Structure 1
Amino acid sequence: MELFPKSRNYQIIAIVSIILILELLSLRVEGSSQAKSISYPAINCRKHSAVLTDFGGVGDGKTSNTKVFNSAIANLSQLALDGGAQLIVPPGKWLTGSFNLTSHFTLYIHKDAILLASQDETEWPYLAVLPSYGRGRDGPGGRFSSLIFGTNLTDVVVTGDNGTIDGQGAAWWIKYRSNQLTITRPYLIEIMYSDYVQISNITLINSPSWNVHPVYCSNVLVQGLTIIAPIDSPNTDGINPDSCTNTKIEDCYIVSGDDCIAVKSGWDQYGIKFGMPTKHLIIRRLTCISPDSAAIALGSEMSGGIKDVRVEDIRAIDTQSGVRIKTAIGRGGYVKDIHVRRMRMETMKYVFWMTGSYGSHPDPNFDPKALPEITGINYRDMVAENVTYAARLDGIQNDPFSAICISNVKIGLTEKPQKLQWNCTDIQGVTSRVTPPACNLLPEKKDNDCFFPSDKLPIENVQLKTCFIA
């Protein structure tokens, strides 16, 4: 009698499937050997390549490709240990709901390809709430899965030559504003619990909510993104590194209805308990337009801690504030060792803004004794023009924000500036060569340059390879 016949049949089916996939991919390579190849940079190249149409994709903008994406990626995942695979989204309009990525995998979006997010809610699976948040941000229930989603992955790339992902978010914004949602709107890209993640060289427009959300990840590269949403669209944050370690964000252009970059690490008691900080983060060469929000926000959900953030070469245009720290009693956690330099701002409400009373809470069960620690905040070499207020710096009574340093900053005011330019409470620190002069709580320290680290973070040692599409 044969032992375990079903198990053996499954093994045979899996082997046959892999052989068929390999034959299909080898035919594609042979048939396209004369075509001009496309190159792109990535953390790893793939041995195998397939096109969405190989699995029945239809790029007419009307036919749903949700099952096609999931089927293609599930099949290609069998090649993970044989050099990995890349799935090419060719020119066309590809309507799809949520689909899941796999390890040792690249999703490549052609410059003439548009992924259109489905308007059918049945194509968006539900996810549990994030453990560091305790509830959905839009409501107490769970969350819709993101359009492109992955969890517990290693070595995953989403890239292209500036192909487009259109979240078609207007319908979601209407539902949110009219309180029709009990669970959180989908994001465009969310990667969870993963290591070595690259998201690069694509355009994202009209997200239902946040655009890019790496959460509980390490070794994350976000490069060359163009992110655009109407400036009045709700919560369309650009990039939200959340409880991530060793992350680099660079060369991005963002127009948003919320913060262009929002650094996070969990919400009140849930974030404190989960205890995973965002640390070792680089943000450089960012252009931001966001009239009602910040170029870069730290918080307000920062209860797991935020530390060692290095920001440089930033341009903010018609944006409410430059780098904003948002926290409150009950948050706990910390924001410390923040370093910002070479920032240019044009038409701003605030250049510097720190808030100790950003009091939204997931529920009433937060600990009022959980006070945040805000310390080691450094700004240097900055220029701003057409500014309404130089600064609003509000710490917390009996919990002052400390070790603030601001040096070599020139702020040009509007034609009719506010009389009180520096509004400061419950803060401690120094300034040097700042105009207009700061408040008394930030006295002048002559010839002082605020510290900016000179060492390299590990993410800067990651060398990208040149990969090809035939």
Structure 2
Amino acid sequence: MIIKKTFQFLVLALLAHTQVHAQYSWDNLPTAQVPTFKNDTFNIKKYGAIADGITLNTNSINKAIDDCCKKGGGVVLIQEGIWLTGPIALKSNVNLHLNAAAILQFTKDFNQFPLVEGNYEGARSARNQSPISGDHLENIAITGKGIVDGNGDAWRMVGRDRLTESEWKKKLASGGLVSADGNTWYPSAKTKKAHEEKLNGIIAPGKTLKDYEAIKDYLRPNLVVLNDCKKVLLEDVTFQNSPAWNLHPLMCEDLTLKNLTVKNPEYAQNGDGVDVESCKNVLIDGCTFDVGDDGICIKSGRDEEGRKRGKPTENMVVRNSTVYKAHGGFVIGSEMSGGAKNIFVYSCSFIGTDKGLRFKTARGRGGVVENIYCKNIFMKDIVHEAIYFDMYYFTAPPKKGERAEAVEANITTPQFRNFEISNIVCDGADKGIFMRGLPEMAVKNISISNVLLSTEKGAEIIESSDIKLSNVTLLSKKTDPVIHVENSKDITIDALKYSPASTLLFNIYGADSKDINLRNTDASKVKTVASFVKGANAKAITVVN
């Protein structure tokens, strides 16, 4: 018995030791394996493809891919020219390579895209087949200096207020239908029906794909969907004008996105750049995004479906990348029910995005987002918040002056914890830092250090705990208060710098706000260090110089 217990102790000790050394850090970043290919080349021209922008080349391109796969793999070559095509299905051991000046142009003929069972925000859904797709593959790539164009404008409805007058007239001249109030253009009657009747493609029990034919055109495909694939490389290509999301790797392992350009019009609803969902071992390096929704987004399924899948996005590096127009520069959520962890983001710039670092979720999601590290991020002209945590995404937060009622935390309660954010500069934003947790689940253990944020407003910390701000400069134009703290605790602020025009450092709100520590900060320049509202009192804060 003693020997058995000793053995068990040694095993547990070994496991604990292994886990400590397996933990990723800035000195031990996650890595992704890259695919390799035979040198054999399969030129789509030899399969009858014609680069005139008129001939439909779907069969020729897919035949070249099939042959390449059957013969052990290699390169399927797309030379310069405009190659019109319907949906393309990738195969294992195939590198789809687009030479410079090659445009892979997907047709605007919806009939070329059959309905298939896909995935929408973690749920089984009827979707049109993606222009490029791959399912359960290994060793695949899309490379080269060419362009993949999804012809997304043919699929997207659009509001009149999102276009110039000349753009709107051009849209009307292209065909389609207009809403009764004349403010929305629809590409087809099926799209109009689905939107006006609030229908969607989520596959209900007992329903088949045929049941969704009446709204088929509304079920816009993502441009590239790779499902459960291993060793994936996307390199150098421009992906643009997607019907819905641009790039959607789902449950992939060893995924590399390198030197990509990803573009969509600003008005492209759901026009995300890349949505990495439930993937493991990921590198995004040297990419540029200018899109209509989130730029670089991390997901892991929505609500019960995501929790049932139980696959976090994990072991990921994002570096040397730029995001222009987008709802968020680097984003996690809101569909993060399978969790996200061990993610490192560094040496990136966000210019003109709605938000910079954006972390969003809501009650009902569940999922734990943890061990997220961001450093050397440079932002300019951010529309809303530079650093943003919110657990009320697409749900109604409490009204100003009120507090939401806490509910019992359970498996459906989301968590944001263990974030380290450092070396951030933001020149222009509405607000520097915003954190809002739930009464039953605080945003917690967040460290923000060596940050300079030049913004309209400073920081709000609501329903949060274990927050550390170190060497943070908040140059807010609307100066008072510099920091609003609401029903939050265990907050340490060390070496805070603020605008000389500020007269109030803290507005401390709520009886549950406590254990706030201000250190190494010159508070002599303000008229009032802290005001106390709604049950907060002077014992909530300690000032130590």
Normalised TM-score (structure 1): 0.78
Residue-by-residue CA offset, 1:143-183 (whole Å, 9 max, x unaligned): 122111101111001101x2001111112111488464744
SS at match of 2:50: coil
Residue matched to 1:400:
442
Residue matched to 1:171:
154
Tell which structure's C-alpha radius of gyration is larger: 2
Residue matched to 1:427:
464
Query: Which sections of structure 1, spanning at least 5 residues, go unmatched?
Result: 1-41, 137-141, 361-366, 448-470
Give the alignment partner of residue 59 of structure 2, picking from 67, 81, 87. 67
Report the alpha carbon displacement of residue 261 of structure 1 after superposing the two structures with TM.
Answer: 0.7
Give the alignment partner of residue 322 of structure 1, picking from 356, 379, 383. 356
What is the alpha-carbon distance in structure 2 between the residues aligned to residue 302 and residue 70 of structure 1? 34
Give the alignment partner of residue 143 of structure 1, picking from 102, 118, 127. 127
What is the alpha-carbon distance in structure 2 between the residues aligned to residue 229 and residue 132 of structure 1? 20
What is the alpha-carbon distance in structure 2 between the residues aligned to residue 403 and residue 308 of structure 1? 15
Of stretches 180-189 and 255-264 in structure 1, the one that deviates more from structure 2 is 180-189
Superposition pairs of residues 292-441 of structure 1, within 5 angstroms: 293-348=327-382, 349-359=384-394, 370-413=412-455, 417-418=456-457, 421-428=458-465, 429-436=467-474, 438-440=483-485, 441=488
Amino acid at match of 1:374: F
Residue matched to 1:20:
none
Q: Check conservation: 2:362, 2:391, Cα contact below 8 A.
A: yes
Amino acid at match of 1:173: R
SS at match of 2:119: coil
Amino acid at match of 1:373: Q
Report the alpha carbon displacement of residue 45 of structure 1 after superposing the two structures with TM.
Answer: 3.0
CA 156–266 in structure 1, closer or farther in 2 if over 3 Å, else same:
same
Q: Check conservation: 1:295, 1:319, Cα contact below 8 A.
A: yes
Give the alignment partner of residue 185 of structure 1, picking from 207, 212, 220. 220
Q: Which runs of 4+ in 1 moved over 2 A?
A: 129-132, 175-184, 437-443
Residue-by-residue CA offset, 1:61-80 (whole Å, 9 max, x unaligned): 11111111122211222112
Residue-by-residue CA offset, 1:438-469 (whole Å, 9 max, x unaligned): 5445431469xxxxxxxxxxxxxxxxxxxxxx
Q: Check conservation: 1:382, 1:409, Cα contact below 8 A.
A: yes
Report the alpha carbon displacement of residue 374 of structure 1 after superposing the two structures with TM.
Answer: 1.0
Query: Which sections of structure 2, spanning at least 5 residues, go unmatched?
Result: 1-33, 158-185, 202-218, 396-408, 475-481, 497-545
CA 446–391 in structure 1, closer or farther in 2 if over 3 Å, else same:
closer
Residue matched to 1:14:
none
Give the alignment partner of residue 134 of structure 1, picking from 105, 115, 123. 123
Higher relative contact order (CA 8 A, sep 6+): 1
What is the alpha-carbon distance in structure 2 between the residues aligned to residue 422 and residue 356 of structure 1? 17
Q: Check conservation: 1:132, 1:270, Cα contact below 8 A.
A: no
What is the alpha-carbon distance in structure 2 between the residues aligned to residue 438 and residue 280 of structure 1? 33
Q: Check conservation: 2:472, 2:495, Cα contact below 8 A.
A: no
Q: Check conservation: 1:329, 1:369, Cα contact below 8 A.
A: no
SS at match of 2:275: coil
What is the alpha-carbon distance in structure 2 between the residues aligned to residue 317 and residue 188 of structure 1? 24
Amino acid at match of 2:470: S
Q: Check conservation: 1:330, 1:368, Cα contact below 8 A.
A: no
What is the alpha-carbon distance in structure 1 between the residues aligned to residue 330 and residue 49 of structure 2? 38
Residue-by-residue CA offset, 1:252-294 (whole Å, 9 max, x unaligned): 1110111111100001000001111100011011111125x10
Amino acid at match of 2:450: N
Amino acid at match of 2:129: S
Residue-by-residue CA offset, 1:18-74 (whole Å, 9 max, x unaligned): xxxxxxxxxxxxxxxxxxxxxxxx731323111110100011111111111122211
SS at match of 1:381: strand
Report the alpha carbon displacement of residue 132 of structure 1 after superposing the two structures with TM.
Answer: 7.2
CA 369–307 in structure 1, closer or farther in 2 if over 3 Å, else same:
closer
Amino acid at match of 1:290: K
Residue matched to 2:513:
none
Residue matched to 1:24:
none
1:158 correspondence with 2:158? no
Q: Check conservation: 1:46, 1:106, Cα contact below 8 A.
A: no
Normalised TM-score (structure 2): 0.68
SS at match of 1:319: coil
Report the alpha carbon displacement of residue 397 of structure 1 after superposing the two structures with TM.
Answer: 1.4
Superposition pairs of residues 69-84 of structure 1, within 5 angstroms: 69-80=61-72, 84=73
Amino acid at match of 1:146: S
Report the alpha carbon displacement of residue 130 of structure 1 after superposing the two structures with TM.
Answer: 2.7
1:111 correspondence with 2:86? no
Give the alignment partner of residue 86 of structure 1, picking from 70, 75, 78. 75
Amino acid at match of 2:146: G
Residue matched to 1:22:
none
Q: Among the aligned pairs, what percent are the same residue?
A: 29
Q: Check conservation: 1:131, 1:270, Cα contact below 8 A.
A: no
Give the alignment partner of residue 281 of structure 2, picking from 235, 246, 252. 246
Give the alignment partner of residue 98 of structure 1, picking from 71, 83, 87. 87
Q: Check conservation: 1:132, 1:273, Cα contact below 8 A.
A: no
SS at match of 1:406: strand
Q: Check conservation: 1:315, 1:343, Cα contact below 8 A.
A: yes
SS at match of 2:321: strand
